[in-house]
């Protein structure tokens, strides 16, 4: 063992005693990660060598934050990322797997770059609890990890209780959500393949805010695109709790009317209350029951379970309030919540692009605070959401958000952003470049 490696392991053990608890595999991952810091040799960060940032969740927010804390601290601050998944599976582009033009392997990427290129210690586990007073998180497998700053990006949790019978229907695989890309995405595609020509696919959308405002409408297009090619007598029903399409409404409606005439039907004001999975029926607060061959019911959503369980979801018991300048929780010091779990500022969507933007602002604030530097008083966020309306054509909506110190919130910059005039193949090129770029920015 060389000098650097020995010192690193000593520092890790001293920093919180978790390295011994987690076993030698992790300890050597930690050592190689910090080895990169030792090799940079040009660090300007003055954070103490044992400073640790713990990131909970390796999705769009967490993985980006992990990389950027390392990078912005000149690889000096130790970063441990806890994520249960073997690989990163992207929700953006996952609707194309349902449409049949892409496969799961197209949206699955390794975490390896975070460790090998950026020296992040990636731990395959779940965080079971967080004690923000003691600055310790406990892993589902038992060991504890101490931290100086914690980044919480656990995504969303389904509010199963809002739609009676839905959790059981999900557990037995009859009614899927596929709102976290992974095995359910592949299983929902199988349900569509097994559906007879002339059958009905129904997607049920909860009231906003929910993860990815245009996502359900893009999905309806993708399923219709598959039906048009393979099962042309079939139907796509969109049953929306909102009074109208919540994102890119005029564009989506034009596509449904012109590209999928007679195939896609949109019904607003349909708030689901129950499913009778055995009979393939969904029930609504006011409207008549609907029967469909494939039911894709999205219930209302809230912050990821660990955020709720830790008492951080202080906005309507659903979302986590944060100081938007730093993304520090409004309840827990040194806990920074980012991504879909937060209470959003006006016109801020729950999107991958936004989670990536939150992560960079939070990472910069964390590195500044740990070094005793001033935090950026005027952070900016950007967002672009592309939607594939078939295998080859895309529409987008974009916005720029600035932190307004006087109001302590983000607001969209007047005149920024925009909306497509209509679907084009050129925008599909942009969408693919966006996906490749954000995957690299997050993971490579």
Ligand X SMILES: Cc1cc2nc3c(=O)[nH]c(=O)nc-3n(C[C@H](O)[C@H](O)[C@H](O)COP(=O)(O)OP(=O)(O)OC[C@H]3O[C@@H](n4cnc5c(N)ncnc54)[C@H](O)[C@@H]3O)c2cc1C
Report the interface residues with ligand X, using CB under 6 A: 56-62, 82-85, 91-92, 94-95, 126-127, 153-155, 179-180, 211-212, 215, 304, 306, 339-341, 350-353, 355, 385-386
Long-range contacts of residues 168-172, Cβ cutoff 8 Å, at least 24 apart: 168/277, 169/275, 169/277, 169/295, 169/297, 172/277
Q: How far is the CB of 373 from ligand X (least distance, A)?
A: 26
Q: Nearer Cβ to ligand X, position 12 or 107?
A: 107
Residue 41, both tokens: 């040799």
Q: How far is the CB of 92 from ligand X (least distance, A)?
A: 3
Q: Nearer Cβ to ligand X, position 60 or 327?
A: 60
Q: How far is the CB of 370 from ligand X (least distance, A)?
A: 22
Q: How far is the CB of 334 from ligand X (least distance, A)?
A: 18
Secondary structure class of 240 (helix, strand, coil): strand
Q: At what angle do helices 3-16 and 24-40 cross, to 10 degrees?
A: 120
Query: What are the beta bridge partners of residue 54?
Result: 80, 150
Q: Nearer Cβ to ligand X, position 38 or 143?
A: 143
Residue for token digits 């950007």? 382
Residue 63: CB partners within 8 Å, gap ≥ 6? 55, 81, 83, 88, 111, 114, 442, 443
- Residue with smallest beta-carbon separation from ligand X: 59
Residue 128: CB partners within 8 Å, gap ≥ 6? 138, 139, 140, 306
Q: Nearer Cβ to ligand X, position 29 or 215?
A: 215
Q: How many residues does the chain have?
A: 444
Q: How far is the CB of 55 from ligand X (least distance, A)?
A: 9
Q: Nearer Cβ to ligand X, position 127 or 220?
A: 127
Distances (CA, A) of 245 to 29, 200, 299, 351: 47, 20, 16, 17
Q: Nearer Cβ to ligand X, position 287 or 323?
A: 323
Q: How far is the CB of 187 from ligand X (least distance, A)?
A: 14
């Amino acid at each position: 063992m060389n000098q650097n490696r020995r010192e690193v392991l000593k520092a890790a053990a001293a920093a919180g005693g978790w390295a011994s608890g987690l076993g030698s595999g992790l300890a050597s991952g930690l050592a190689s990660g910090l080895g990169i810091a030792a090799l940079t040799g040009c660090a300007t960060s003055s954070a103490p060598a044992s400073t640790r940032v713990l990131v909970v969740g390796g999705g769009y927010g967490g993985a980006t934050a992990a990389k950027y804390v390392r990078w912005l601290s000149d690889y000096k601050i130790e970063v441990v990322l806890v994520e249960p998944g073997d690989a990163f599976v992207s929700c953006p582009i996952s609707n194309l797997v349902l449409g049949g033009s892409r496969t799961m392997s197209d949206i699955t990427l390794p975490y390896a770059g975070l460790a090998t290129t950026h020296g992040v210690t990636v731990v395959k586990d779940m965080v079971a609890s967080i004690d923000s007073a003691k600055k310790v998180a406990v892993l589902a497998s038992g060991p504890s990890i101490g931290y100086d700053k914690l980044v919480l990006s656990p995504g969303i949790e389904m509010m199963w209780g809002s739609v009676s019978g839905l959790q059981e229907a999900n557990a037995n695989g009859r009614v899927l959500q596929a709102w976290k890309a992974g095995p359910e995405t592949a299983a929902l595609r199988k349900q569509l393949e097994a559906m007879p020509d002339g059958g009905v696919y129904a997607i049920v959308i909860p009231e906003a805010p929910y993860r990815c405002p245009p996502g359900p409408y893009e999905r309806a297009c993708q399923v219709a695109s598959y039906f048009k090619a393979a099962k042309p007598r079939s139907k796509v029903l969109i049953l929306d709790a909102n009074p109208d399409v919540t994102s890119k409404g005029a564009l989506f409606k034009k596509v449904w009317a012109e590209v999928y005439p007679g195939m896609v039907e949109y019904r607003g004001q349909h708030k689901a209350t129950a499913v009778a999975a055995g009979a393939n029926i969904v029930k609504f607060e006011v409207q008549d029951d609907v029967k469909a061959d494939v039911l894709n019911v999205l219930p209302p959503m809230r912050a990821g379970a660990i955020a709720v369980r830790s008492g951080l979801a202080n906005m309507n018991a659903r979302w986590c309030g944060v100081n938007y300048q730093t993304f520090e929780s409004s309840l827990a010091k040194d806990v920074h919540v980012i991504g879909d779990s937060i209470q959003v500022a006006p016109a801020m969507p729950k999107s991958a692009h936004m989670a990536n933007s939150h992560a960079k602002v939070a990472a910069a604030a964390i590195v500044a605070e740990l070094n005793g530097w001033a935090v950026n008083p005027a952070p900016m966020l950007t967002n672009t959401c592309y939607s594939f309306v078939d295998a080859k054509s895309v529409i987008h909506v974009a916005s720029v958000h600035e932190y307004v110190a006087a109001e302590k919130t983000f607001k969209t910059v007047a005149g920024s952003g925009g909306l497509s005039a209509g679907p084009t193949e050129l925008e599909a090129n942009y969408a693919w470049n966006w996906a490749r770029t954000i995957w690299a920015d997050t993971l490579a």
